[in-house]
A and B are shown apart, each in its own frame.
Chain A
């Protein structure tokens, strides 16, 4: 009796700081954003108390940010998947056991280094003094690479490739190699084996990878800001503008709430698609 009481007291004490953090730094801010999104802009910027749907009605004025985000995020996710899959397959199925861990670590390491610096590297490479100036030396004048949709897509693939490779690798690694042998013993061509056995069995990893990359791309700010010039801007760029430049907090809040709702819908769909594969979720964090 006293033992379990003591245990409960200990558990509560151990959880208290974390609970406080979640309340003050996660729940409170999110509640404030929702409240502000129904408010008015104060004349000097910031928030004036009100209850109105004006901010949401006004969302259409930032339509371009929505259409850009909802075009580039899925496109970037798809291209990242296409680049990542063969590498994940090679690492999981083809490569020698001795090198597997090292090669996998080499894929993941860039993800844990600064995205800012890695994106900057592409400004350096694609910018006027990078590849274009080298091309000019061999006679191709005025090649423009930066501030194009191609540059934004390359930046997206570059930024999030590791996050896509890892879950696909995990699901391919778990794949029972005897299934592949069985398929070829039954006369299946390598291509058919891939389409009918490997691809469906690696689906959970692909879905997890796409989900992670898609969510991060939806909230992206740096890549379009650096590589898209002023032309290609996402919801993230609109948010920076609204909160730090024009200080229109209520409208910015409505935009942020809408962004989170779109993501929640996506995550719910994802949960439906992968019911019960909790291990996948846990592994995907690294």
Chain B
């Protein structure tokens, strides 16, 4: 059973390792290993299309992560105070937004936005002052960010809510007993305790958005994100450049995931510290 488990870990990591290894191969193919070089990274990073796609991906992922961590946190705080059918409705929407396949979100958002834009654009043009070029709504960064945020916001809600539920209530009560205003209690007690969950939510949202292909594929309009670039270059035929880009994409998510793990671990430590220094409370 131990050997089986080792085999499964090899199955999980060898393909990733192969991509990383061959991204440093100066030869062109897997069967053509000619020693280590950074040649393909140089090729990839001097390709203006790659740089443009990378910039788009970073802008989109950062915006989606920022929006989701703000909206997800406020929603989690509100939902924690609620009961009854409205809360059940929100719970339902959160699960639907997480479980619905990306491809369905992609096509639904595409046709809904294009239809709304087609209705709005003539209206905007007629309302626009004479002689100026009217604002034209179209698919682009904003639509990708909005579509990613739907999923990642729900993710943040679940993470932050789990953290609020695991929070030490006695600290909030103590704060109130000591005549802190609700705003002070939030700033000094609640926020520091839920902050690791918010940050973990931000990083996971960033990772999701940065890696997403299928939603962006439908709603990015003329823009190209890094996964879309990789997809179309694979379609055109594999070049070693793709290995280098792939390694960079994997590197970004692996780095962020390590950060999330460290955060979650420090969160546990902090919790035990509070419990230890507060032994009468437990």
What residues make up the interface of A, taking CB atoms closer than 8 Å to B?
7, 10-12, 14-15, 17-18, 21-22, 24-26, 28-30, 32-33, 36, 46-47, 83, 86-87, 89-91, 94, 105-107, 109-110, 112-118, 120-125, 127, 129-130, 133-134, 137, 158, 161-162, 215-216, 218-219, 221-222, 226, 236, 239-240, 243-244, 249, 252-253, 256, 259-260, 263, 267, 281-282, 285
Contact B75 A18 (CB under 8 A): yes
Count of A-B residue pairs with CB < 8 Å:
221
CA distance A125 to B243 in the complex (A): 12
Contact A86 B4 (CB under 8 A): yes
Contact B227 A285 (CB under 8 A): no
Q: Could you list 22 A-B pairs, sorted by A, with CB under 8 Å?
A: A7-B81, A15-B74, A26-B96, A26-B100, A33-B107, A36-B111, A83-B8, A109-B257, A112-B257, A113-B250, A113-B253, A114-B213, A114-B246, A123-B238, A124-B15, A129-B30, A129-B32, A162-B12, A215-B101, A218-B101, A263-B99, A281-B95
Name the residue of chain B whose CB is nearest to the CB of A3: B182
Which among B5, B99, B238 is the interface contact of A86 at CB below 8 angstroms? B5
Contact B101 A158 (CB under 8 A): no
CA distance A252 to B238 in the complex (A): 30
Given contacts A26-B150, A86-B4, A124-B18, is CB(A33)–CB(B155) below 8 Å?
Answer: no
Which among B1, B12, B30, B90 is the interface contact of A110 at CB below 8 angstroms? B12
Is B98 an interface residue, CB under 8 A from the partner? yes
Contacts of B95 in A (CB 8 A): 281
Contact B4 A90 (CB under 8 A): yes
Contacts of A117 in B (CB 8 A): 19, 230, 246, 249-250
Given contacts A15-B75, A215-B101, is CB(A121)–CB(B16) below 8 Å?
Answer: yes
Name the residue of chain B whose CB is nearest to the CB of A132: B31
**How far does the Cβ of B145 sit from chain A's closest Cβ, in whole Å?**
10
Which among A12, A116, A243 is the interface contact of B107 at CB below 8 angstroms? A243
Contacts of A243 in B (CB 8 A): 107, 110-111, 218
**How far does the Cβ of A253 sit from chain B's closest Cβ, in whole Å?**
7
Contacts of B234 in A (CB 8 A): 120, 123, 226
Additional pairs, 17, CB under 8 Å, beyond known A116-B211, A219-B102, A249-B111: A7-B81, A11-B78, A15-B74, A22-B97, A25-B149, A46-B114, A91-B5, A110-B12, A112-B207, A112-B253, A113-B257, A114-B250, A120-B230, A161-B8, A222-B213, A256-B107, A281-B95
CA distance A161 to B70 in the complex (A): 32
Contact A256 B238 (CB under 8 A): no
Which among B71, B149, B213 is the interface contact of A116 at CB below 8 angstroms? B213
What residues make up the interface of B, taking CB atoms closer than 8 Å to A?
1-2, 4-5, 8-9, 11-13, 15-16, 18-19, 22, 29-32, 70-72, 74-75, 77-79, 81-82, 90, 93, 95-105, 107-116, 146-147, 149-150, 153, 155, 157-158, 162, 204, 207-208, 211, 213-214, 217-218, 227, 230-231, 234, 238, 242-243, 246, 249-250, 253-254, 257, 261
Contacts of A25 in B (CB 8 A): 109, 146-147, 149-150
Contact A109 B227 (CB under 8 A): no
Contact B81 A18 (CB under 8 A): no
Contact A239 B103 (CB under 8 A): yes
**The 10 nearest A-B residue pairs measured at CB:** A219-B101, A29-B108, A14-B78, A121-B15, A29-B112, A18-B75, A114-B211, A32-B112, A133-B31, A129-B29
